[in-house]
């Protein structure tokens, strides 16, 4: 009798745990899928090997035309830079930023909303002073 009650309590606990997890689904990257439909880049930064910005001033983000433009300092090795950005809450980006990359040509990144229903592809263009 005692074992049966214990088994029942454990079963209910496990079932409750599984049920409660189903309220917060996660995507293939292990990130929470929420109800947010907003989908945009809020800021963009580009770092050099010294872990400092290579941009002369803040990059310009156009959320209507989905473009980011910036100017890198004279002498920047634009073929070896590391981008990162800010996104609206719960959104994610593909491909992921944070790796060394050649930015001598415009690059495209896709922002995906928190509910994973909206996708917007941004074109990021960086020019270097003197080039």
Partner 1 sequence: MKLFKYLLLLSIPVGLFVSCSDDDDNSGMKNDFIKKTTSPAIVGESIEFAYAMGATNGRLNTAEATASIAGGAGTGFGLFSYFTARGNLTVNDVRYIAGDDVPLKTVKEATTNGAVSTATMMEQVDANYINPTVAFGTSQTDLVAATIRYYYVVPEEARGKEFSVKFSSKSTTGEIATYQTPGYKVSKMDMKRSIQMTGDNVCYFSIADMRAYTKAEVESQNISAKIDFVYLYQAKLGAYDYGSAFVSPATDPMYIAIADIIPGNWTKNNTQMEKRVDVKDAQLKGSMPNVYIDDIDFETLDLSAAVNYIIGFSADHGAFMETADGKYAAYIYVNSVSNGTMTVSIKRYPLK
Query: Which residues sit at the interface with partner 1, rule CB under 8 A?
Result: 48-52, 73-75, 77, 79-80, 100, 129-130
Of the candidates 42, 41, 46, which has an alpha carbon nearest to the alpha carbon of residue 84? 46
Name the residue nearer to partner 1 (CB basis): 77 or 125: 77
What is the spatial distance between Cα 59 and Cα 100, in angstroms, rounded to a whole number? 18
32: tokens are 């929470």
67-72 and 119-128 strand pairing: parallel
CA–CA distances in Å: residue 94 to residues 18, 41, 76: 30, 12, 25
Name the residue nearer to partner 1 (CB basis): 27 or 102: 102
Smallest separation, CB 73 to partner 1 (Å): 7
- Please work out, in degrees rounded to the nearest 5, the angle formed at the alpha carbon of residue 62 by the alpha carbons of 56 and 71: 20
Name the residue nearer to partner 1 (CB basis): 49 or 106: 49
Smallest separation, CB 129 to partner 1 (Å): 5
Smallest separation, CB 76 to partner 1 (Å): 9
What is the spatial distance between Cα 58 and Cα 16, in angstroms, rounded to a whole number? 49
Name the residue nearer to partner 1 (CB basis): 16 or 100: 100
Smallest separation, CB 121 to partner 1 (Å): 26
């Amino acid at each position: 009798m005692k074992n049966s009650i214990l088994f029942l309590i454990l079963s209910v606990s496990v079932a409750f745990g599984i049920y409660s997890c189903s309220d917060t689904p996660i995507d293939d990257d292990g990130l929470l899928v929420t109800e947010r439909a907003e989908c945009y880049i809020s800021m963009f930064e580009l770092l050099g090997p010294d872990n400092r910005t290579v941009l002369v001033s803040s990059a310009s983000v156009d959320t209507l035309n989905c473009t980011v433009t910036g100017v890198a300092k004279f002498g920047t090795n634009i073929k070896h830079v590391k981008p990162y950005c800010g996104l609206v809450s719960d959104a994610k980006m593909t491909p992921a930023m944070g790796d060394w990359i050649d930015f001598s040509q415009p690059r495209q990144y896709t922002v995906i909303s928190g509910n994973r229903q909206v996708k917007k592809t941004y074109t990021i263009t960086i020019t270097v002073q003197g080039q």
